[in-house]
Amino acid sequence: MPRFYLEGFCDPALQKHEGKNVLWVYEKRKDIRRSSPKREATIRDFYTHTNPDGAHSTEVEERLGVIENNAARVLQSGGPLDGSMLAAEDRQWLALFVGTMFTRTPTGRTILDTRAGPAVERIITQAAQHPDEFRRLLYEITDPEEIAGVDVEEARQRILSGAHVGFNSSAELSLASVIHVGWMSAAELLKLDWQFVYAHEEELFLTSDSPVVSMVWESNNSAQFLTGFGVPGVDIYFPLTRDVCLHIRKGVPPGTCIVVDRGVRQINKLVMASAEKRIYAAEHSERLRSAFEKYGCEVRAEDFQPRWQGKPV
């Protein structure tokens, strides 16, 4: 989890009186604990792998760093946080940040490795039966730069002969998919409408170790979580700071809006439900602890249902 991101959810009172960035960390069946952005949401070597020659590769970590730096520039420049319009380039960087924040977490990595990756392999294997469909699909789901110079027909014949497609079949490919699927997710986000939601009263937004909430509301007013960003009706929430949450959905009024405490609590419940293990908040609150015990960590990677063209895969 990027340190600059967590700094946006620190306790404002302690920042003022102690001059320190303090996070309050909540886990189920545990006491609330005081921590800092530097100490939280870090897993050693989570974005690195060992090359066949034994060298330690940090390429994906470096690419994530570029995304983080640009996202930090956008958020800390006052762009969306003061209600001004985002420049096209800033919007693209923020979309890529949201997309990779969905794929880079432990939950996101599990989805890519055990659910989405195998689903893509099945789709490609089926498409390989038809040359035109295979070519179209390959260019639709792959970065053109990555397949420049690739003999598409040779690749199709290899798959027909039983060759493994190779998605997520190694640590290197698994990590590469964090960036690639994040890039694809960003492309979908840019097709939707964006609204910056501001907390107006006393309540503050919180975040979690799996901070991107993606869902579709169903007819019985329940929600299906972990939906792809290209699914019709997808509703996405991403807390930006303790004061602002990004809401992305087709048809939502673009721009900014202000919500009262009840609206902030409703969004926080969704963030709690999507958390993997813990939430991070700007306050020490028994009420928050009780709410997290009730609503927290309800969504699991196993709940993810891969879909393609509106149908389960």
Taking only the tens place, the pLDDT of each residue in 187-228 is 999 999 999 999 998 999 999 999 999 999 887 778 889 888
Q: With 80 as the cut, is the pLDDT of residue 68 above it?
A: yes
Q: With 90 as the cut, is the pLDDT of residue 294 above it?
A: yes
**Tokens 């006052």 belong to which residue?**
78
Strand partners for 213: 237
What's the chain's Rg over C-alpha atoms? 20
Residue 295 is classified by DSSP as H
Nearest CA to 213 out of 249, 241, 178, 184 is that of 249
Q: Which two tokens stand for residue 219?
A: 């007819």
Q: How confident is the model at residue 143 (pLDDT cuts 50, 70, 90)?
A: low
Tell me which of 262 and 127 has the higher pLDDT. Answer: 262
Q: With 70 as the cut, is the pLDDT of residue 306 above it?
A: no
Q: How confident is the model at residue 120 (pLDDT cuts 50, 70, 90)?
A: low
Grouping H, G, I as helix, E, B as strand and the rest as coil, residue 165 is: coil
Query: Per mean pLDDT, which range of 6-10, 22-26, 48-52, 78-82 is the poorest?
Result: 48-52
Nearest CA to 57 out of 147, 145, 181, 176 is that of 176
Residue 84 is classified by DSSP as P
Q: Which two tokens stand for residue 31?
A: 């006491």
Tell me which of 307 and 124 has the higher pLDDT. Answer: 124
Tell me, what's the pLDDT at 67?
A: 94
Q: Quick check: 248 and 236 in contact, CB under 8 A? A: yes
From CA 237, how far away is CA 71, in angstroms rounded?
17
**Residue 249: in which H helix or E strand, if any?**
strand 244-249
Tell me, what's the pLDDT at 222?
A: 82
From CA 63, how far away is CA 182, in angstroms rounded?
12
Q: With 90 as the cut, is the pLDDT of residue 124 above it?
A: no
Q: Quick check: 48 and 61 in contact, CB under 8 A? A: yes
CA angle 296, 297, 303 (to 5 degrees): 140
Other CB atoms within 10 A of residue 10 CB:
22
**Tokens 């909430």 belong to which residue?**
213
How many residues are recorded in the chain? 313
**Residue 64: in which H helix or E strand, if any?**
helix 59-76
Tell me, what's the pLDDT at 292?
A: 98
pLDDT, averaged across the chain: 84
Q: Residue 67 is which amino acid?
A: I
Tell me which of 69 and 173 has the higher pLDDT. Answer: 69
Q: With 80 as the cut, is the pLDDT of residue 112 above it?
A: no
Q: How confident is the model at residue 114 (pLDDT cuts 50, 70, 90)?
A: confident
Q: With 60 as the cut, is the pLDDT of residue 231 above it?
A: yes
Q: What is the mean pLDDT of residues 160-164?
A: 71
pTM of the model: 0.82
Instruction: Provide the percentage of residues in the chain whose pLDDT is more than 70.
Output: 77
Q: What is the mean pLDDT of residues 291-297?
A: 96
- Select the highest-mean-pLDDT range: 56-65, 120-129, 294-303: 294-303
Alpha-carbon 114 to chain mean position: 17
- Which positions ≥6 away from 87 have C-beta within 8 Å? 79
Q: Domain limits of the chain?
A: 1-38+192-303, 43-190
Cα dihedral 59/86/240/257 (nearest 10): -160
Residue 244 is classified by DSSP as E
From CA 178, how far away is CA 70, in angstroms rounded?
18
Tell me, what's the pLDDT at 135?
A: 77
Q: Quick check: 90 and 76 in contact, CB under 8 A? A: no
